Structure 1
Amino acid sequence: MKPLTPRRHGIVDYAACALMLAAPPLLGLNPAARRASALFAGTYLVVTALTDFPLGLRRTIPFPVHGKIELASAPALLALPAVLGAMSGTKEKAYFAGLAATVLTAYSLTQWDADPDA
């Protein structure tokens, strides 16, 4: 049994949004990396708020679809910042690689077929 229920996954997602806003300035990432991270934070926040699970504000996106969106975001976390010029430094590359790894870890630890109200 995987440890992340839909409720726990929601907590992880909201915490990840806060991290994606707070971490780049604290880590001294370049302005392009900060913008790219804020873009991802906003996108994750909207998807999370619209997901059909206990912490969703307007429960319109089915929880398994949320998972597919998250899974698709992992390669985007590496590709989009590179396209935007946000990956010019070692810190920036490590940051976005860490975000992608975090998304993949959360995805693999989540009970996607669980009752969305669990």
Structure 2
Amino acid sequence: MKPLTPRLHGFVDYTACGLMLAAPRLLRLSPQARRASYALAGSYLGVSLLTDYPPALRRMIPFPVHGRIELATFPALLLLASETQGRNRIYFLALAGMVAGAYALTDWKADPDA
């Protein structure tokens, strides 16, 4: 049994969006890394707002599809990490780890309203 229900996963998503908006400035990332993080936050927020789970604004994207979209960002995050250095690299590797962890801990077959 995986501990992240659709409802909990939604709260993780919104928290992650907030972190992707706040962390780049707090960590003094490069302007390019900041822009990439803000773009990721925007895309995650858009998908989250439209996913079929309780914290969504409009429930249009099936929860398992949300998972596949989220997992597709993993290689992009690794690519961003490979193209940067220092704290920028660590930041994108940490985001990749967070995506992988959230994906692995989520019950993608659960009833979204459970």
TM (normalized to structure 2)? 0.95
User: Displaced runs of 4+ in structure 1, greater than 3 A?
Assistant: none
Q: Report deviation, 1:56.
A: 1.1
Q: Match for residue 9 of structure 1?
A: 9
Q: Distance in 2 between matches of 1:97 and 1:22?
A: 17
CA RMSD of the aligned region, Å? 1.3
In structure 2, stretches of 5+ residues that fail to align are none
Q: Match for residue 51 of structure 1?
A: 51
1:17-72 Cα offsets, whole Å, 9 max, x none, are 00000001101111100000000000000000000010111100000000000111
Q: Distance in 2 between matches of 1:54 and 1:115?
A: 11
In structure 1, stretches of 5+ residues that fail to align are none
Which of 92, 95, 99 aligns to 1:103? It is 99
Mapping for residues 68-87 of structure 1, pairs under 5 Å: 68-79=68-79, 81=80, 87=84
How many residue pairs match? The answer is: 114
TM (normalized to structure 1)? 0.92
- Percent sequence identity is 63
Q: Distance in 1 between matches of 2:24 and 2:54?
A: 29
